[in-house]
Amino acid sequence: MALRYALLGLLTKKPSTGYELNQKFKETMIHYWNAHHTQIYRELIKLEEEGWVSSIVYPQVDSPDKKVYEIKDDGREELLKWLLNYKVEPPKLKDQQLLRVSMFHLIDSDDAIRFLQQSKEHHKIGLQHMYIWQEHEYRSDKDIKAALGEYFTSEFGKRYMETWIEWCDWAIDVLQRLKD
């Protein structure tokens, strides 16, 4: 259900194709929400059927026609209703990596260490991408103000990655200490 609001929020910035929305989704929301491109396209169809977005098809010669979506007044109104009528809920954490870690007692310490090292490297790469993206997107306070929510959530994503990397180092140290 929240995917529709994520898409409406992206469309408040500028009309976009499904492809552009998928790319922007990956750039700005991947650290706290995920959706497959097929989910995005299905949701866009529903939003259009409900009258929350409209689309214009631009014929192209050497590629498929381009369909550009735009948020309508009803969609903006529903987005604001959803945004302002919130209730703070307990945080939800559903992490397949942590599920695996919870079962480390079943595997050899060296295998657990390898898993944590791979996870740490994956998070380091993600963190590098986030730093580069932030440096490109937020060069001034004006840029930050224009995209305040994205700035806050991308900073959360960076801090999450940094904490994960530190936690991996800590867990590897514990495993090595217990091995000795």
Is 68 in the same domain as 131?
no
Instruction: Report the CATH number that the domain containing residue 47 is assigned in CATH.
Output: 1.10.10.10
> For 11-29, what is each residue's pLDDT tens digit?
999 999 999 999 988 888 8
Q: Is residue 127 part of a domain?
A: yes
Of the candidates 139, 155, 120, which has an alpha carbon nearest to the alpha carbon of residue 28?
Answer: 155
Sign for the CA dihedral angle at 50, 53, 58, 63 comes to negative
What is the tally of structural domains in the chain?
2
| Per-residue pLDDT, 47 | 97
Domain edge (last residue) among 84, 106, 137: 84
- 151-154, long-range: CB < 8 A, 24+ apart: 153/28, 153/29, 153/31, 153/32, 154/28, 154/31, 154/130
The DSSP code for 103 is T
- Structural domain includes residue 91: no
- Residue 89 maps to a domain: no
pLDDT score at 167: 97
pTM, two decimals, is: 0.74
Q: Do residue 72 and residue 100 come from a single domain?
A: no
Expressed as residue numbers, the domain containing 52 is 2-84
Q: Is 66 helix (H, G, I), strand (E, B) or coil?
A: strand
What is the per-residue pLDDT for 93? Answer: 77
Interval 26-56: pLDDT, tens: 888 877 788 889 999 999 999 999 999 999 9
